[in-house]
Amino acid sequence: MQKEIIIAGFGGQGVLFGGQVLTYAAMDAGKEVTWFPSYGPEMRGGTANCTVVIADEEIGSPLVKNPPLAIALNLPSFDKYEELLAPGGTLIVNQSMVDRQAKRKDIHVIFVACNDIAEELGNKKLLNMVAVGALLTALPEITMKDVERVLEAHLPARHKHLLPLNCEALKRGFEAANKVPA
């Protein structure tokens, strides 16, 4: 088994932490895993992305050109990864930040209004967890419980009080993605 995930969006949308949550969950599930961030000037505004590779055996390339799974948190990322996604793959798109429909028919594009859901929960920074929750519908190797345990263990101390809200965000994302007809 090997699965690759790219998470992309604006700097500040929680792209890197979203990827780390999946990485910790995969590690705790006994998998091999790599987390590879974009570390260039894009970290200071502009777009950011990270690649997570989850596998049963030693991982070769930590980068992937055509991932089977991706999260696009803004329009430029939607444009880029809709084109690059492997046929049959699943793309989670943050509907709150895009103004167009999907073009490709050979991939599953799931629109989830991450910003709106996060704001309903009272904290717009939760949008990355909404997106991660949505992605879990296409990543059976990692369960919601796995991710909740990760958040409990690795959420920075200053954010610990946000644990219940983070878990709620995950759940809302998962449910929203499940409601979208395949």
Partner 1 sequence: MTRELWKGNEAIAEAAIRAGLEAYFGYPITPQTEILEYLSRRMPELGRAFVQAEAELGAINMVYGAACAGVRVMSTSSSPGVSLMMEGLSYIAGTELPAVLVNVMRGGPGLGNIAPAQSDYNQAVHGGGHGDYKPIVLAPASVQEAIDLMVLSFDLAEKYRSICMVILDGSIGQMMEPAQMPEMKPIRRADWEWATDGRMGKRERRILTSIYLDPIEEETTNLRILSRWKAVQANEVRYKEYFLDDAEFVIVGFGTAGRVALSAVRAARQQGIRVGLLRPITVSPFPFEVIDKLAEHASAFLVTEMNAGQMLDDVRLAVRGRTPIEFYGRPGGVVPFPDEILSEVQRIAAGPLSIVSDPRDAWYERMMATAR
Q: Which residues form the interface with partner 1 (CB under 8 A)?
A: 20, 23-24, 27, 32-37, 39-40, 58-65
d(CA 104, CA 23): 28
> Taking the complex as a whole, how short is the minimal distance between the CB of residue 62 and partner 1, in angstroms?
6
d(CA 62, CA 53): 6
Residue closer to partner 1 by CB (options 29, 144) is 29
> Taking the complex as a whole, how short is the minimal distance between the CB of residue 10 and partner 1, in angstroms?
20
> Taking the complex as a whole, how short is the minimal distance between the CB of residue 171 and partner 1, in angstroms?
24
Residue closer to partner 1 by CB (options 40, 140) is 40
Q: How far is CA 71 from CA 128, 138, 162, 180, in A?
A: 9, 11, 23, 16
CA proximity to 22, closest of 172, 170, 122: 170
Alpha helices by DSSP H, listed for the chain, are: 15-28, 75-84, 114-120, 127-135, 144-154, 163-179
Residue closer to partner 1 by CB (options 27, 180) is 27
> Taking the complex as a whole, how short is the minimal distance between the CB of residue 1 and partner 1, in angstroms?
13
> Taking the complex as a whole, how short is the minimal distance between the CB of residue 59 and partner 1, in angstroms?
7
Residue closer to partner 1 by CB (options 7, 113) is 7
Residue closer to partner 1 by CB (options 32, 175) is 32
d(CA 44, CA 34): 23
